[in-house]
Amino acid sequence: MDSLRYPAGVEPTLVARRLALVRARIAAAARRAGRAPEAVRLVAVSKTQPVEALVAAWQAGVTDFGENRVQEAQAKLPAARERGVAATWHLVGHLQSNKARDAVQLFDILQSVDSLRCAEAVARAARAPMRVLLEVNVAGEATKYGFPPGELPVAYRAAAAIPELRVEGLMTVAPQVPDPKAVRPLFRQLRRLAGELGLRECSMGMTDDFEVAIEEGATMVRIGRAIFGPRA
């Protein structure tokens, strides 16, 4: 394939082609649910990808990028900015309290606030109100971070009372299952929880399940492999 011409392993037109396909699938899923395609924000998850891949995606119209590790972002974000990428940056992975200070400087929105301890660390580090989503462990998986749904109302009230935080919505990572339709009830539950709390944003859906998530009301989808290809 012609990607062999790019030593960094990034073929810009390939990223653009994959992106066009993802956008078409987002639009189709939104229309199936009677929603406007513009109601779904695409966050391109660029973890493990080289800066060249971010530049290619930015040039193809991506406005939002997600990274899952503060340390990786510390190297990549300044390099991407230097290359003209003026995106909105989302942290989508677990945040350790001792990284909160770096995180609030690097990112525009922290999607993975998964405990009150984390929320308080972000608040202490923030100089202006920080945009955050509360991560919910909808399936109750032992291996996953996030608030158990039952604890969410109390946690939300506590987080919403912190002036340094702007709680905009909820986020979840669904279990990986062979049939993405199997996670539909979990997405529906996240949307319902957000509605009950009066929260607008619902970040749910990844490469394997974003269409189901959009049908269930996702306002943000976090997509990596379908845009950038497999991770190294």
Ligand X SMILES: *Cc1c(COP(=O)(O)O)cnc(C)c1O
Which one of 73-81, 122-130, 149-157, 217-225 is the stretch in contact with ligand X (CB under 6 A)?
A: 217-225
Q: Which residue has the tokens 């109100």?
A: 129
For position 45 contacting ligand X by CB under 6 A, the verdict is yes
Q: Which of 46, 49, 68, 115 binds ligand X (CB under 6 A)?
A: 68
Count of residues that bind ligand X according to CB under 6 A:
13
User: Measured from the CB atom, is 88 or 164 closer to ligand X?
Assistant: 88
Core vs surface per residue 163-186: b (16+ CB within 10 A) or e: ebbebbbbbbbbeeeeebeebbeb
Q: Which of 173, 174, 186, 220 binds ligand X (CB under 6 A)?
A: 173
- The minimum distance between CB 227 and ligand X, in angstroms, equals 8
For position 225 contacting ligand X by CB under 6 A, the verdict is yes
For position 93 contacting ligand X by CB under 6 A, the verdict is yes
For position 109 contacting ligand X by CB under 6 A, the verdict is no
Distance CA 42, CA 52 (A): 19
| C-beta nearest to ligand X: residue | 224
* Residue of 216, 228, 190, 232 whose CA lies nearest to 39: 216
DSSP bridge pairs for 44: 65, 223
Would you call 95 exposed, middle or buried from its count of C-beta atoms within 10 A (0-12, 13-18, 19+)?
A: buried
* Residue of 84, 129, 86, 85 whose CA lies nearest to 110: 129
Distance CA 130, CA 104 (A): 7
Distance CA 147, CA 116 (A): 9
For position 217 contacting ligand X by CB under 6 A, the verdict is no
- The minimum distance between CB 152 and ligand X, in angstroms, equals 18
Q: Which of 22, 53, 92, 162 binds ligand X (CB under 6 A)?
A: 92
User: Measured from the CB atom, is 169 or 196 closer to ligand X?
Assistant: 169
Handedness of CA 96, 88, 190, 213 (dihedral sign): negative
For position 47 contacting ligand X by CB under 6 A, the verdict is yes
For position 21 contacting ligand X by CB under 6 A, the verdict is no
Q: Which of 72, 74, 207, 229 binds ligand X (CB under 6 A)?
A: 207
User: Measured from the CB atom, is 44 or 196 closer to ligand X?
Assistant: 44
Alpha carbon 184 to chain centroid distance? 18
CB 145 within 8 A of CB 94: yes
Which one of 80-88, 139-147, 152-160, 205-213 is the stretch in contact with ligand X (CB under 6 A)?
A: 205-213
Query: Which residues contribute to the site for ligand X (CB under 6 A)?
Result: 45, 47, 68, 92-93, 173, 206-208, 222-225
